[in-house]
Amino acid sequence: MATSRRVSRVAELIKREVSQMLLNGIKDDRVGTGMVSVTDVDVSGDLQHAKIYVSIYGTEEAKAETMAGLKSATGYVRSELGARVRLRRTPEVVFIEDRSIERGNKVLSLLNQIQRERQLENQDEHEDNSTYEDDEFAQ
């Protein structure tokens, strides 16, 4: 078992190398249909398995196509990692689509919508109160 410090260092190294491969190493056209970035890498304690979380920007069709391209490029990515990273055994690689950024954007837009609605309610209440005050002074 590797120490947690070593596991996190290997995960960061894999993240950096796979990001470089996405920029100029993977030749599959499907990977280029959506904008892809590596958000996280989860390496098992024995350094035998690596889950690579990728965020894909684009339509649902482009996301599905990009994930298919990444899954087909798994062997290439693993062999390149073996050449670039000095480990006793190269970890098995699995690509997982990370939708946390989309969920975060959705939550933020909902919070902004609630804030706008509250501001409108407060403005309406303020306008209603000012009309009552004007009526009292008129008498």
Per-residue model confidence as pLDDT tens digits over 9-37 = 999 999 999 988 888 878 777 776 568 88
- In the sheet with 49-57, reading across from the earlier edge strand, the strands are 35-43, 49-57, 92-97
- Which segment, 4-8, 28-32, 49-53, is predicted with the most confidence on average? 49-53
Looking at 84-88, 92-96, 132-136, which range is the least confident one? Answer: 132-136
Q: Record the tokens describing residue 78, joined without a space.
A: 């693993």
Residue at token pair 């670039």:
84
Residues 13 and 11: their CA atoms lie apart, in Å, by: 5
pLDDT for 81 beyond 80: yes
89 touches 26 (CB < 8 A) = no
pTM of the model: 0.73
**What pLDDT shows up at residue 139?**
53
**What pLDDT shows up at residue 137?**
54
Residues 62 and 55: their CA atoms lie apart, in Å, by: 12
- Residue 1's contacts (CB-CB under 8 Å, 6 or more residues apart) are 45, 46
**What pLDDT shows up at residue 33?**
59
